[in-house]
């Protein structure tokens, strides 16, 4: 079966919300293969602590690819302690130029509680304009919902949870089984 014919691992929704001195990254737990839900409780948001420096990362895409990228990010953070932006740019450069890494299919949201970035295989390190970002199949739904709530009195965590609930109601590749990590600087 060729790669084009194989249904592939599908979907996920990860949202990052920065508000009130904290950043929350939330992700659903659904793993789908074609039209079938394979698992409903995957952890796609993780806390990394290279050298005692806390970073929260959420990923969408291939799990093995995402773990490869998370390991690389940890190495970059160990080489540049406390410099998430620099480590993210170094990872994006490697991802874009390394023949092996170029084939990886995933996206990351990373934060140290002060900054939040989306890292892509196209070499992008994007800082959200409105302190909200989202990736994955339900990312646009979660992004729109979270942006609509940013001017309310809701905390970052409440916004992330509500945005994920809306995405789960709309996107068939997203469920309501959340992993939520909060970090502040």
Give the residue extent of every domain in the chain.
9-172
What's residue 10's pLDDT? 53
Residue 110 pLDDT exceeds 80: yes
What's residue 25's pLDDT? 98
Active site residues: 12
What's residue 3's pLDDT? 45
Phi and psi of 53, rounded to 5°? Answer: -100, 110
What's residue 63's pLDDT? 85
- Residues 18-65 have pLDDT tens digits of 999 999 999 999 988 888 999 999 999 999 988 788 999 999 988 888
- Residues 123-148 have pLDDT tens digits of 899 999 999 999 999 999 999 999 99
Question: Comparing C-alpha atoms, which of 106, 113, 85, 139 is closest to residue 147?
Answer: 139
Tell me the two tokens of residue 106: 């995933």
Question: Comparing C-alpha atoms, which of 172, 11, 63, 174 is closest to residue 163?
Answer: 174
What's residue 105's pLDDT? 85
- Mean predicted confidence (pLDDT) in 3-7: 44
What is the dotted CATH code of the domain comprising 9-172? 3.60.20.10
- Mean predicted confidence (pLDDT) in 147-158: 98
d(CA 70, CA 119): 11
On whether the pTM is more than 0.85, the answer is yes
């Amino acid at each position: 079966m060729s790669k084009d014919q194989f249904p592939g691992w599908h979907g996920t929704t990860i949202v990052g919300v920065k508000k009130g001195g904290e950043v929350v990254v939330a992700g659903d737990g659904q793993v789908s293969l074609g039209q079938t839900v394979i698992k409903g409780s995957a952890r796609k948001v993780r806390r990394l602590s290279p050298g005692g420096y806390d970073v929260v990362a959420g990923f969408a895409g291939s799990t093995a690819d995402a773990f490869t990228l998370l390991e690389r990010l940890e190495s970059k953070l160990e080489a540049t302690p406390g410099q998430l932006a620099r480590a993210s740019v170094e990872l994006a450069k490697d991802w874009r130029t390394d023949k092996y890494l170029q084939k990886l299919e995933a996206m990351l949201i990373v934060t140290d509680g002060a900054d939040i970035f989306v890292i892509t295989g196209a070499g992008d390190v994007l800082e959200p304009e409105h302190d909200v970002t989202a990736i994955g199949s339900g990312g646009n739904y979660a992004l729109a919902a979270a942006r609509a709530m940013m001017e309310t009195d809701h905390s970052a965590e409440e916004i992330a949870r509500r945005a994920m609930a809306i995405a789960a109601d709309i996107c068939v590749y997203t469920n309501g089984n959340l992993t939520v990590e909060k970090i502040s600087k």
